[in-house]
């Protein structure tokens, strides 16, 4: 079918306009024409009140073994883990007190009480304080009302110093000590409900990678790619989204560079991204080559893939977490990298724990003696970095079962198919 002169002119004008668009604008036009990304978070089942109450009971048992009379939590992932309350930190104290026995108590500013109660799912002991009052006196009063006159109060690792100091002054008969052993004993082992939420978050990030990979274009900046990745994860239902795009030489530095970066032919593109669903995190890295890959790029990419599989095979129940890191470094050193943490090679740990925080125990690092056990979740990311040239990192997370490790997302098999698949 022949085009009229008018239609030929319109086609030529459209083509010229498209050519003049920025790479990001072209990608967004493609996205607008593509089928809508489904909201995967709709299938998420929130953590139940019964499960949170069971966590409190478990924490109280650990507290008894460690000789703690109460545990103080500030807003953050630990507070949300135990109570479901999502709050923020400021100079005005809001805190949760978990006594060794009995129900939780909450201390919060008077004007915040209605909002705090709105987010509570259990417990009714809320102690308020006004702007001219000392909130730590409220905590001391609560301890007294619970029959505690002296003892040891544990604080979670991220509690700020002014809270520790205020507590010591208001309750001098109590000793304030670290209580990471309590929160770690609970949070390091994920329940089926937690693993299901982490699986959805991982599915969202991997689907976003597939979408963004199809949009990559010469001339794009790292900011352009980050914007596409944030948009894709948000459309798929993720929140608390984070992205990191490293191009070319910047990929040789695990957390990148502030130098201007644009996509060029034959260039490495390393992405490290994640999101959250109901507070539970994903963390996935992918490394692409835009255009034709070099022999060296392909060799390093395939060795990193082998490193991931070596880590997976080494991650067996009962083995020390650090032995997984050892197995990967043995492989890399046999190929001329390292030794140890030296460059060129693997300059960071092989993996880190993950859950409601992107980084939490247990770490897959040299010397870590904690035995791997069912319920532990951690990243598997043994990259290789060549300073001044490029780096390659493939990262997928694992959850441990009684019979061994299971992928949340399955790593890619080749540079030609660099996304991988859902677990």
What pLDDT is stored for residue 14 in this prediction?
46
Look at residue 203 in the predicted model and tell me its pLDDT: 98
Residue 116: Cβ-neighbour burial (10 angstroms; 0-12, 13-18, 19+): middle
User: Which sign, positive or negative, has the C-alpha torsion 397, 400, 404, 406?
Assistant: negative
- Mark out the alpha helices in 217-363 (DSSP H runs): 222-235, 295-314, 322-334
| pLDDT for residue 31 | 64
Inform me whether the pLDDT recorded for 329 exceeds 60.
yes
pLDDT tens-digit readout, 69-104 = 999 999 999 999 999 999 999 999 999 999 999 999
Residue in the structure block whose two tokens are 């490193």: 307
The 10s digit of each residue's pLDDT in 284-314 is 999 999 999 999 999 999 999 999 999 999 9
Q: How is residue 212 written in tokens?
A: 């963004």
**Strand ranges, E, within 33-143:** 70-73, 95-99, 105-109, 125-129
In 306-395, the DSSP E strands lie at: 351-353, 360-364, 377-380, 384-386, 390-392
Q: What is the pLDDT of residues 350-376, one digit of tens each?
A: 999 999 999 999 999 999 999 999 999
pLDDT in tens, 15-50: 445 556 787 777 776 665 567 899 999 999 999 999
Q: Compute the average pLDDT of residues 132-137.
A: 98
Distance CA 144, CA 141 (A): 5
Is the model's pTM score more than 0.85?
yes
Q: Average pLDDT of 101-126? A: 95
Inter-residue contact 351 to 380 (CB < 8 Å): yes
Query: Per-residue pLDDT for 3 more than 60?
Result: no
């Amino acid at each position: 079918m022949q085009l009229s002169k008018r239609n030929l002119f319109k086609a030529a004008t459209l083509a010229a306009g498209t050519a003049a668009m920025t790479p990001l604008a072209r990608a967004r036009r493609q996205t607008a024409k593509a089928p809508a990304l489904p909201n995967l978070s709709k299938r998420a089942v929130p953590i139940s009140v019964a499960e949170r109450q069971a966590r409190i009971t478990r924490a109280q048992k650990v507290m008894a073994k460690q000789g703690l009379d109460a545990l103080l939590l500030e807003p953050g992932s630990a507070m949300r883990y135990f109570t479901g309350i999502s709050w923020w930190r400021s100079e005005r104290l809001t805190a949760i007190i978990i006594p060794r026995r009995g129900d939780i108590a909450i201390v919060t500013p008077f004007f915040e009480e209605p909002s705090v109660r709105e987010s509570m799912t259990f417990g009714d002991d809320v102690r308020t304080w006004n702007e001219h009052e000392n909130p730590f006196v409220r905590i001391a009063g609560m301890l007294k009302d619970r029959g505690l006159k002296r003892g040891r109060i544990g604080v979670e690792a991220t509690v700020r110093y002014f809270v520790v100091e205020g507590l010591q002054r208001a309750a001098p008969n109590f000793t304030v000590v670290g209580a990471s052993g309590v929160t770690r004993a609970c949070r390091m082992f994920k329940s089926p409900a937690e693993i299901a939420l982490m699986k959805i978050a991982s599915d969202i990030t991997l689907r976003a990678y597939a979408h963004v990979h199809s949009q990559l274009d010469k001339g794009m900046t790292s900011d352009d790619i980050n914007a596409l990745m944030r948009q894709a994860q948000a459309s798929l239902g993720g929140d608390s989204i984070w992205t990191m795009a490293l191009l070319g030489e910047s990929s040789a530095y695990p957390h990148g560079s502030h130098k201007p970066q644009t996509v060029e032919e034959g260039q490495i593109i390393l992405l490290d991204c994640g999101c959250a669903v109901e507070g539970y995190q994903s963390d996935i890295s992918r490394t692409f080559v835009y255009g034709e890959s070099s022999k060296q790029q392909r060799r390093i990419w395939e060795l990193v893939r082998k490193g991931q599989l070596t880590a997976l095979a080494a991650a067996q129940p009962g083995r020390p977490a650090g032995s997984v890191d050892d197995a990967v470094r043995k492989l890399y050193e046999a190929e001329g990298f390292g030794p140890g943490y030296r460059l060129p090679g693997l300059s960071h740990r092989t993996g880190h724990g993950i859950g409601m925080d992107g980084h939490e125990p247990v770490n897959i690092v040299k010397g870590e003696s904690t035995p791997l056990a069912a319920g532990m979740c951690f990243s598997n990311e043994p990259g290789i970095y060549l300073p001044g040239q490029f780096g390659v990192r493939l990262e997928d997370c694992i959850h441990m079962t009684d019979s061994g490790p299971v992928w949340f997302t399955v790593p890619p098999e080749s540079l030609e198919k660099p996304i991988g698949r859902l677990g």
